[in-house]
Amino acid sequence: MTGPRPPATQARAAFTDETGWMVVHSVHRYPGPAETVLADLDAVLRDCASFTLTYPDGLSMTEEVRITGADPWTADITVDSGALTVHDRLVLVPHGDRLSVLSVIGPESPDDALVDALADRAAELVSLP
């Protein structure tokens, strides 16, 4: 099984604060429907919900993905390096040839109300012409 193809273009904004939280929003434009890309990604993550990333410097991290919603597509991701654990709420919203990718990343699971408000705004932005 192969993963989704890379986007043709993308735009990204990231925000951080002094408490260790980060919000990243990117919009990816594909040559075809973003729904297809999302379906491919969903299939890959359902088939392999836990995996280890190993970097050339020897750092190794285990990533666990738990898909929690379909509309919008939502997952809770935990990345554990052994020394540090990071939580990421990932929200993906397709619109035509664009895919909105919202990550709310921090030292603990993010607040549901905050993620919902950010996801609603991200979905509005991706639907603009």
The whole-number average pLDDT for the span 104-116 is 88
In a domain, 122, yes or no: yes
Contacts of 106 (CB under 8 A, 6+ apart): 19, 20, 21, 22, 86, 87
In a domain, 32, yes or no: yes
pLDDT tens track for 36-95: 999 999 999 999 889 999 999 999 999 999 999 998 999 999 999 999 999 999 999 999
Tell me the residue type at 17: D
> Residue 33 gets which letter from DSSP?
-
For position 75, which CATH number holds?
3.30.530
In a domain, 81, yes or no: yes
Helix extents (H) in the chain: 34-47, 112-126
In a domain, 6, yes or no: no
Q: Which domain holds residue 97?
A: 22-126
Counts of helices then strands in the chain (DSSP H, E): 2, 7
In a domain, 11, yes or no: no
Residue 118 in this model has a pLDDT that exceeds 50: yes
In a domain, 114, yes or no: yes
Residue 115 in this model has a pLDDT that exceeds 90: no
Task: Give the model's pLDDT for residue 1.
Answer: 41
What is the count of structural domains for the chain? 1
100 and 93 Cβ atoms separated by less than 8 Å = yes
Residue 92: strand pairing partners: 73, 101
SS3 20: coil
The whole-number average pLDDT for the span 2-23 is 78
The whole-number average pLDDT for the span 13-29 is 88
